[in-house]
Amino acid sequence: MDYFEKLLPKDLRSYISILCAMIKKDLFLLKQKTADIIINSAIILTMELIVWCYLYPLLGMPQELVLPMFVGWPLISIMINLGFCFSMKYTLGALYTGYGFMEFDLTLPLPTSYVLAKYIISFVIEACIATLPLILIGITIIQYLYPTVIIAGLLPFCLLYIMNLSLIAIVFLALSFWYPNQWFENNVWPRRIGPIITFGAVFAPWHQVYVFSKPIGILMLLNPLTYVTEAMRSVLLKGNGIYISLWFCIPILILLFLVSTLWMSKSVRSKLDLLS
């Protein structure tokens, strides 16, 4: 390890060392609240399982739609709510109050990109600890209750889930700095997040929406959230012809990563320039 560290430039070694120390601090703080996080997530999971595994099938929803719908609204809503709460730490008001240690982090001898990377890494770790084990438990319970539901790949699903969490963190961080603080708090949900969720293939698989209404199906293809949702369905359930192909979704998700990262960098730097 020491040999490889010597191969790195001195400044880069220093940046990586500071970044690791910051993440280690976040993990220590996370350890203090892990029990509360797991309990809260377990309560949410229990309610979602009751709704999607019992009440909706009781009302006539086909069994083969239980898991695709579970990967839709319950899972996506959890991810987006986590992203929204994460971004609220780093709005313009956070710079003035010091909430979330951002005011301190910006004084460290560290490029802004490393500070942003630390926030995203810490968010993904916390979100995975809070949700991923319980999501896997929920998927297992659904498969047990409905044996006709065939699960294809849990490990690829977990990797894709982590990737999508990172994308959501980047997008929400960009949003929180792109708009004025008051506008973000009051308007981002109804004017940005709400429409994206509504037309994001969250409430039904995209193919079924397209069969019902081709204009709405085509409109959904313009929505990035469609590819986030359909990719997770496709990798978990192997498509079966009713989900957008994973190999079609992945290049679009990679492109979204690049565009969102550039947007985040621009929005953060422009906001910090206004404060400097």
In whole angstroms, give the CA distance from residue 115 to residue 248. 32
What pLDDT digit, counting tens, does each position of 42-82 carry?
888 888 888 888 888 888 888 778 888 888 888 888 888 88
Comparing CA positions, the residue from 87, 72, 78, 89 lying closest to residue 40 is 78
| 86 touches 169 (CB < 8 A) | yes
Q: What is the pLDDT along the chain (276 residues), one digit of tens a residue?
A: 444 445 455 667 778 888 888 888 888 877 888 888 788 888 888 888 888 888 888 888 887 788 888 888 888 888 888 888 888 876 655 554 444 456 677 777 778 888 888 889 989 998 898 888 888 888 888 888 877 767 777 888 899 999 999 999 999 988 888 887 778 888 888 888 989 998 888 888 888 888 888 999 999 999 999 999 999 988 888 655 678 888 899 999 999 999 999 999 888 887 776 554
What pLDDT digit, counting tens, does each position of 137-168 carry?
888 888 888 777 677 778 888 999 999 999 99
**In a 10 Å sphere around its CB, with 0-12 CB exposed, 13-18 middle and 19+ buried, how is residue 98 labelled?**
exposed
In whole angstroms, give the CA distance from residue 17 to residue 9. 12
| 174 touches 259 (CB < 8 A) | no
Number of domains in the chain: 1
Q: What pTM does this model have?
A: 0.86
Task: Tell me the H-state helices in the chain.
Answer: 2-7, 10-32, 34-50, 56-58, 66-88, 92-97, 102-105, 112-145, 154-178, 181-188, 194-198, 206-212, 214-220, 224-237, 246-275
Q: Domain span at residue 179?
A: 2-275
